[in-house]
């Protein structure tokens, strides 16, 4: 019995040390730009394994260099409460949970084996926490770690810094990371010159960047971009 308690104690200590290590890394991000994220490293490994090498395009932009059009577009599309919430939008999370449950119920009633599309309620801060440190698996343990990291990001970093790190590291295609690389890749211009519609079009790609990279003439992409472009003026910057 003592051996079991000793083992549990060591596991708890290791978990605590891991959390402290991650919080220290997050605190350093207030002044040091992250060199890469867990997601980027996993993508580099996947492509290196399958294709031999990952063509990597990324150029860091300071917060003031990222156009307001793009900042407002990503807030309007991904997280309209970003400037005011504490990292988690509980209302959006509750709505996403209810929508997923309804989709599962309909799938069961129809007797289909195809899993329903999962709707997320993640904020920009939660997405950043996942991209920086976590895998893409959907487990309660990973979700719990995501909440801890989200809280640490909100405590240690300002909202503008969170948005800056997110927009410089998010994936916009195979090997395309960050706003500047995306603007150059899709529009052959610097991010500072993006129009409202172009910024909205980039943001609409975010949930499935590789898919939309291969289907640039998607009617959904164009239509949804128009909707987001119209909402940019109402988005509140931090």
Quote the pLDDT of residue 117.
47
The predicted structure's pLDDT at residue 118 = 45
pLDDT score for 116: 41
In a domain, 163, yes or no: yes
The average confidence (pLDDT) of the chain is: 86
Tell me, what CATH number does 167's domain have?
1.10.3810.10
Residue 70 within a domain: yes
Q: Is residue 195 part of a domain?
A: yes
Relative orientation angle of helices 179-187 and 196-205, to the nearest 10 degrees: 110
| pLDDT of 110 | 62
Q: What is the structure's pLDDT at 99?
A: 60
Given this model, what pLDDT does residue 39 score?
A: 92
pLDDT above 70 coverage of the chain, percent: 84
Residue 99 belongs to a domain: no
Q: CA distances (Å), 5 to each of 2, 13, 15, 17, 150, in order?
A: 5, 12, 15, 18, 30
Q: Does some domain include residue 192? A: yes
pLDDT at 49: 79
Give 79-129 pLDDT, tens digit per residue: 999 998 888 877 766 665 556 555 555 555 566 554 444 445 689 999 999
- 228 inside domain: yes
Q: Has residue 179 been placed in a domain?
A: yes
Which domain covers residue 62, as residue numbers?
18-80+158-234
166 lies in a domain? yes
- The Cα-based distances of 146 to 37, 170, 191 in angstroms read 14, 17, 30
The ranges of the chain with pLDDT < 50 are: 114-119
Number of domains into which the chain is organized: 1
CB atoms within 10 A of CB 33: 12
pLDDT digits over 15-33, tens only? Answer: 888 888 888 999 999 999 9
């Amino acid at each position: 019995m003592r051996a079991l308690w000793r083992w549990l104690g060591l596991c708890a200590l290791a978990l605590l040390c891991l959390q402290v290590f991650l919080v220290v890394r997050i605190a350093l991000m207030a002044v040091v730009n992250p060199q890469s994220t867990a997601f980027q490293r996993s993508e580099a490994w996947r492509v290196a394994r399958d294709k031999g090498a990952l063509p990597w395009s990324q150029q860091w932009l300071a917060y003031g260099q990222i156009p307001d059009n793009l900042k407002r577009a990503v807030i309007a599309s991904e997280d309209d409460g970003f400037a005011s919430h504490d990292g988690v939008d509980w209302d959006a999370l509750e709505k996403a949970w209810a929508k997923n449950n309804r989709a599962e119920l309909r799938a069961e009633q129809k007797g289909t084996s195809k899993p329903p599309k999962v709707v997320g309620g993640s904020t920009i801060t939660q997405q950043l926490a996942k991209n920086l440190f976590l895998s893409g698996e959907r487990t309660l343990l990973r979700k719990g770690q995501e909440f801890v990291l989200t809280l640490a990001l909100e405590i240690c970093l300002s909202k503008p810094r969170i948005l800056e790190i997110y927009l410089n590291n998010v994936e916009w295609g195979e090997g395309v990371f960050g706003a500047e690389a995306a603007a150059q890749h899709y529009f052959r211009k610097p991010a500072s010159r993006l129009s409202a519609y172009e910024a909205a079009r980039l943001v609409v790609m975010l949930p499935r960047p590789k898919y939309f990279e291969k289907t640039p003439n998607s009617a959904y992409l164009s239509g949804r971009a128009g909707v987001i472009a119209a909402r940019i003026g109402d988005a509140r910057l931090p």
